[in-house]
Amino acid sequence: MSTEHYQSGETRMMPSPDEIKKYLKSAVEMAVTGGEEYLHSKVPELQKNINDYALKKVSAAIPPTYKVVVTCMIVQNTGSGIHTASTVRWQPDQDTTVSYVFHNDAMVVDVNAFLIST
């Protein structure tokens, strides 16, 4: 990732993908507390809480010349397979995506952050 220069003269490195992943993980842990069961009626609230928290944490950590997109998918864990995919056109030397997947007996949560240089 690139080094960014701020108006104040401060120079800061973009956080590593592992650091961004920690923010995504903490967003899920904050919203999904313990052995929670899957309730379809609660999914929109869980997604909002995860997305909002992750967006806040990641946005605060990255240089202001980057945009961030956070997505969250929550499905009931029934033992069936699930596949997701995305594709983007970007600058691979500057832009990146980071994913975190959580699962328990009740649900699977897939959170993604797309970091895009402007």
Q: Which residue has 């832009």 as its token pair?
A: 95
Which range of 70-74, 82-86, 103-107 scores highest in mean pLDDT? It is 70-74
> Of all residues in the chain, what percent carry a pLDDT higher than 90?
66
H-state helical runs in 1-118: 17-31, 43-61
Q: What is the pLDDT of residue 49?
A: 96
Confidence at 12, pLDDT banded by 50, 70, 90: low
Task: Enter the pTM of the model.
Answer: 0.86
Q: What was the pLDDT predicted at 5?
A: 46
Instruction: Give percent of the chain with pLDDT exceeding 70.
Output: 88
User: What integer is the mean pLDDT of 41-63?
Assistant: 96
Residue 33, Cβ density class (10 Å: 0-12 exposed, 13-18 middle, ≥19 buried): exposed
Nearest one of 24, 18, 16 to 53, comparing CA atoms: 24
Residue 3 has pLDDT above 70, yes or no: no
Q: Using the CB atoms, write b or e for 56-92: b if 16+ within 10 Å.
A: ebbbebbbeebebebbbebeeeeeeeeeeeeeeeeee
- pLDDT of amino acid 69: 96
